[in-house]
Chains A and B, each alone.
Chain A
Amino acid sequence: MQVVELPNTERVFALKNVRLFYKKSGTLRFASHLDMNRVMTRLLRLSKVPIWYTEGFNRHPYITFALPLSLGFTSEWEVMDFRLDNDDFSLLKAQEMISSVCPKGIEVIALKEPVFKSGKIAKADFCVTFSTDTNITEESVQSFLSQPEIKFMKKTKKGGETEIDLAKKIFSYSVEKSEDSICLNLRLPAGGQDNINPKMLIDAYYNATPDVSGGYAVCRKALLLEDGTLFE
């Protein structure tokens, strides 16, 4: 058996591990992270792509998601890893097979070999769209975000609360006004180290601006490394 030493880079060349990039939209945004596990398992089964199953008594496909997506969010850059049972199987062919069985709300972007470890994810881009029937203005969003400090009580895993300053967490933002909506683009910390859900910012905004109301939609546009490189 030949032992291959992994080159000392951030790049990983794991055998069999493949990475699916897809968009999530429509009613599937009401599928939680746990639900997505079920959906994708069945999707892979339906596609008949030769996937690798765990060897235990309760055999199931090996699936991991790079970063969970909050219930209700759409996404343009979802990342899921699984393993192929056959190294020689064409990724292009597999991608076609998966695409052909996708339900409404899942759109495959690419199936590739993983480039980075998912632990390298450090940032995420979001777009928050405020719906047309709100009284939210570009100026009020702008002035809220330009404050030096945005205090927010974050729930801790242990059930308590801790105060954080969201203003320090925002890497960048921009507000765009189009004909029928206001879009807030945000770059926030994401991943295992530090993770800020854009909902916190929106909640803080609504709390600080009691006279505005109305719905909004959140789309995760991209997952990024520390240096801003797209996570692939």
Chain B
Amino acid sequence: MKKEQLEQLFLTVQKPGRYAGGEMGCVMKDPANVDVRFAFCFPDTYEIGMSHLGMKILYGLFNEREDVWCERVFAPALDFEQVMREHNIPLFALESRDPIKEFDFIGFTLQYELSYTNVLNMLELAGLPLRSAEREGLAPLVVAGGPCACNPEPLADFVDLFFLGEGEEVDLEVIDLYKQYRAEGGEDKNEFLRRAAQIEGVYVPSLYDVTYDTSGKILAYTPKDGAPEMVHKRIMGDMDKAYYPKNVPVPFTEIVHDRAVMEIFRGCIRGCRFCQAGFIYRPVREKSPEVINAEARALCENTGYEEMSLSSLSTSDYTAIQPLLENMIEWTDEEKISLSLPSLRIDNFSPELLEKMKMIRKSGLTFAPEAGTQRLRDVINKNITEEDILSSCKIAFSGGYTAVKLYFMIGLPTETDDDIRGIAELGQRIVDLYYQTKERPKGKGVNVSISVSTFVPKPFTPFQFCPQITEEEMRRRQQLLRDSVTTKKISLSWHDSATSSLEGAMARGDRRMGKVILNAYLSGAKMDSWGEYFDYNRWLEAFKSAGLTPEFYANRERDTSEINPWDHLDFGVSKEFLVREYSLAKCAATTPNCREKCAGCGAAKYGKGVCFEKR
């Protein structure tokens, strides 16, 4: 299709800036001068995908190489998808507008389970067979990485190769192998995959046979053709030496997080037992303040962004946060760049930090106590006390804040009705505290907004053995909480229970889930994370016709000796550690954070980061 015709079609849909490309900072190359073309796919819309830091890092890193051209691809919104299908426009990359079917690699980043049907839809829009076994040629290779790749099994039928852990090194090693294999005249996909499986961090699902017992539980994973028995994730050892982009594509259309993002460390010292990110990114590795300061400045300089946020799993745990902010404020103030600090923890939220934040920008204050009672917070190892929460709120109220937002989960292991009521009671105590605070803003009311999501047990967490509560029970507990809130000063918001149930089944699904995802996709499921398109009945049908149930994956207690679909993958934390943590959880015993005391999770084997900090 000619450029004019395509652009004419852009004008028939909502927000065509999402498909046009040509943003400042996007990388253009001559296809004739590159050896490898990589389509980096985010299986959701442009606004979501362009807000994602990982894509920006890998995009910049790949494009630093002269022989590689990495381009961006997003899922089209439904209106443009319809136009594409009507006019036989195959899925194309934003930069060149070439069909991605012609590329060497099609790489998906898997950020959440509910995007899996979009992966299938994008493959279909590209004009490719969905199942890996049906794509016979060497290229395009369909690869995937990201946090959900820690249990890649539900997508094992569709993806040729998974990257485990951080991609900066392993992705390029696979690209190099591909170049070399091509240069040797190689054309056999299976042979290539066999060789790729020898690279640390590469998981090729087709090289593993799975057997099940009569109850449907896994009997064994058997590697073949020399594939490793255990596949180890990759990490960047020295964050100061890791690549960080000096420029990124800056969208002209509106996206979710439209600002420069500066990563300050990976991993988290806390070990909250529900949090997958807190385990799979271990060990904590910080960038030094000097490097952050220089990289942040370069990024702002080159993009023209007027806002920057610091990114990590827990910003206030950064050891040099105070000096870092002091250094950064010096130039951000001068350049009129507003700095935002998400992911602050309650227990080290100091008046000094608040003062800094006020200098930066008066945004909303958000805390995440996660559970309503101390007992339950101990179970999940969220090591903060009610006193921490209240004293932080007091500091905030004295500092002029009139609204706080609190995040909670329901359905946590061992949760009782008292714990649910505890959420409302904690909210009430915060409201009361506001009116007891003498320095509160005069003549203004308080608003405590409580946002409640449903706990979903995830692989590589101590709760990977736990049953998730049923959808019916979710709704009962939501109602109980609603009934427990008696003041209008507390506003409640919810996460949909049906999507949480599906997420629960997918997160711990095995290879047979592939059939369910395919069935659901073929009956019309896509954009499942967008409430308006989600149809749970379609999914229940898909389970039924695959001969499976969501309950088998989500709602049963798993014996610690059971073989999980991800047990042949190593993300640094040992199963023994997870079992140990799970039994501590059951008796509400906490585990100190990594800086206080090593819990022996196993991540010290990498020889890097917090495990070797001076204590």
Binding site for B on A (CB under 8 A): 26-28, 30-32, 34-36, 38-39, 41-43, 45-46, 53, 57-60, 71-72, 103-105, 131, 133, 215, 217
Taken residue by residue from 325 to 339, chain B's Cβ proximity to chain A (1 for < 8 Å, 0 otherwise) reads as 000000000011010
Question: Are B254 and A53 in contact, CB atoms less than 8 angstroms apart?
Answer: no
Question: Are A131 and B4 in contact, CB atoms less than 8 angstroms apart?
Answer: yes
Question: Are A215 and B306 in contact, CB atoms less than 8 angstroms apart?
Answer: no
Taken residue by residue from 14 to 30, chain B's Cβ proximity to chain A (1 for < 8 Å, 0 otherwise) reads as 00110011111000000
Q: Quick one: which of A35, A45, A103, A215 contacts B253, CB cutoff 8 A?
A: A35
Whether, in the assembled complex, B257 has its beta carbon less than 8 Å from a beta carbon of chain A, the answer is no
Question: CA A41 – CA B336 in complex, angstroms?
Answer: 12
The stretch that binds A, out of B5-13, B507-515, B517-525, is B5-13
B301, chain A: closest CB distance, angstroms: 8
Most buried by A among B16, B23, B24: B24
User: Which residues in A have their C-beta under 8 angstroms from that of B303?
Assistant: 42
State the main secondary structure of chain B at its contact with A: loop
Q: Quick one: which of A30, A41, A58, A133 contacts B20, CB cutoff 8 A?
A: A30
CB within 8 Å for A71 and B252 given contacts A42-B24, A43-B304, A215-B8: no
CB within 8 Å for A46 and B4 given contacts A30-B10, A30-B20, A71-B16: no
Question: Are B252 and A35 in contact, CB atoms less than 8 angstroms apart?
Answer: yes
Question: CA A218 – CA B17 in complex, angstroms?
Answer: 17
27 A-B residue contacts at CB 8 Å? A27-B20, A27-B21, A27-B22, A30-B10, A30-B17, A30-B20, A30-B253, A31-B17, A31-B253, A34-B254, A35-B252, A36-B252, A39-B24, A41-B306, A42-B250, A42-B304, A43-B304, A45-B306, A45-B335, A59-B336, A71-B11, A71-B16, A72-B16, A103-B22, A131-B8, A133-B5, A215-B5
Question: CA A59 – CA B336 in complex, angstroms?
Answer: 7
CB within 8 Å for A46 and B304 given contacts A38-B252, A71-B16, A215-B5: yes
Whether, in the assembled complex, B305 has its beta carbon less than 8 Å from a beta carbon of chain A, the answer is yes
CB within 8 Å for A103 and B4 given contacts A35-B17, A38-B252, A53-B336: no
User: Which residues in B have their C-beta under 8 angstroms from that of A43?
Assistant: 304
Question: Are A42 and B338 in contact, CB atoms less than 8 angstroms apart?
Answer: no
User: Which residues in A have their C-beta under 8 angstroms from that of B250?
Assistant: 42
Closest to A60 in B: B306
User: Which residues in A have their C-beta under 8 angstroms from that of B10?
Assistant: 30, 72
Most buried by B among A26, A38, A60: A38
User: Which residues in A have their C-beta under 8 angstroms from that of B22?
Assistant: 26-28, 103-105
Question: Are A103 and B8 in contact, CB atoms less than 8 angstroms apart?
Answer: no
Whether, in the assembled complex, B362 has its beta carbon less than 8 Å from a beta carbon of chain A, the answer is yes
Q: Quick one: which of B16, B24, B254 contacts A103, CB cutoff 8 A?
A: B24
Question: CA A60 – CA B11 in complex, angstroms?
Answer: 31
Residues in B315-368 with C-beta less than 8 Å from chain A: 335-336, 338, 361-362
A219, chain B: closest CB distance, angstroms: 13
Question: CA A105 – CA B338 in complex, angstroms?
Answer: 28
Question: CA A60 – CA B21 in complex, angstroms?
Answer: 26
Closest to A103 in B: B24
Question: CA A28 – CA B253 in complex, angstroms?
Answer: 10
User: Which residues in A have their C-beta under 8 angstroms from that of B258?
Assistant: 38
B255, chain A: closest CB distance, angstroms: 10
Question: Are A45 and B20 in contact, CB atoms less than 8 angstroms apart?
Answer: no
Most buried by A among B16, B21, B258, B335: B16
Question: Are A42 and B20 in contact, CB atoms less than 8 angstroms apart?
Answer: no
User: Which residues in B have their C-beta under 8 angstroms from that of A35?
Assistant: 17, 252-254
A48, chain B: closest CB distance, angstroms: 9
B340, chain A: closest CB distance, angstroms: 12
User: Which residues in B have their C-beta under 8 angstroms from that of A131?
Assistant: 4-5, 8
Question: Are B11 and A32 in contact, CB atoms less than 8 angstroms apart?
Answer: no
Question: CA A105 – CA B21 in complex, angstroms?
Answer: 12
Question: CA A38 – CA B253 in complex, angstroms?
Answer: 8
User: Which residues in A have their C-beta under 8 angstroms from that of B24?
Assistant: 39, 42, 103
User: Which residues in B have their C-beta under 8 angstroms from that of A57?
Assistant: 362
B4, chain A: closest CB distance, angstroms: 6
Question: CA A41 – CA B254 in complex, angstroms?
Answer: 14
Q: Quick one: which of A39, A53, A60 contacts B252, CB cutoff 8 A?
A: A39
User: Which residues in A have their C-beta under 8 angstroms from that of B20?
Assistant: 27, 30
Question: CA A105 – CA B361 in complex, angstroms?
Answer: 34
Question: CA A131 – CA B98 in complex, angstroms?
Answer: 22
Given contacts A35-B253, A58-B361, 4 further A-B contacts (CB under 8 A): A31-B17, A42-B250, A45-B335, A215-B4
User: Which residues in A have their C-beta under 8 angstroms from that of B254?
Assistant: 34-35, 38
Question: Are A42 and B17 in contact, CB atoms less than 8 angstroms apart?
Answer: no
CB within 8 Å for A30 and B306 given contacts A39-B252, A105-B22, A131-B4: no
A183, chain B: closest CB distance, angstroms: 15
User: Which residues in B have their C-beta under 8 angstroms from that of A71?
Assistant: 11, 16
Closest to B11 in A: A72
B482, chain A: closest CB distance, angstroms: 36
Question: CA A102 – CA B282 in complex, angstroms?
Answer: 42
Question: CA A166 – CA B336 in complex, angstroms?
Answer: 47
Closest to A218 in B: B11
User: Which residues in B have their C-beta under 8 angstroms from that of A133?
Assistant: 5
Closest to A199 in B: B11
User: Which residues in B have their C-beta under 8 angstroms from that of A45?
Assistant: 304, 306, 335
Question: CA A27 – CA B22 in complex, angstroms?
Answer: 6
Question: Are B17 and A32 in contact, CB atoms less than 8 angstroms apart?
Answer: yes
Question: CA A38 – CA B306 in complex, angstroms?
Answer: 10
Question: CA A27 – CA B96 in complex, angstroms?
Answer: 12
User: Which residues in A have their C-beta under 8 angstroms from that of B306?
Assistant: 41-42, 45, 60
Question: Are B362 and A30 in contact, CB atoms less than 8 angstroms apart?
Answer: no
Question: Are A217 and B362 in contact, CB atoms less than 8 angstroms apart?
Answer: no
B12, chain A: closest CB distance, angstroms: 10
Closest to A133 in B: B5
User: Which residues in A have their C-beta under 8 angstroms from that of B5?
Assistant: 131, 133, 215
A94, chain B: closest CB distance, angstroms: 16
Closest to A51 in B: B336
Question: CA A220 – CA B361 in complex, angstroms?
Answer: 40
Question: CA A17 – CA B124 in complex, angstroms?
Answer: 53
A58, chain B: closest CB distance, angstroms: 7
Closest to A46 in B: B304
B211, chain A: closest CB distance, angstroms: 53
User: Which residues in B have their C-beta under 8 angstroms from that of A59?
Assistant: 336
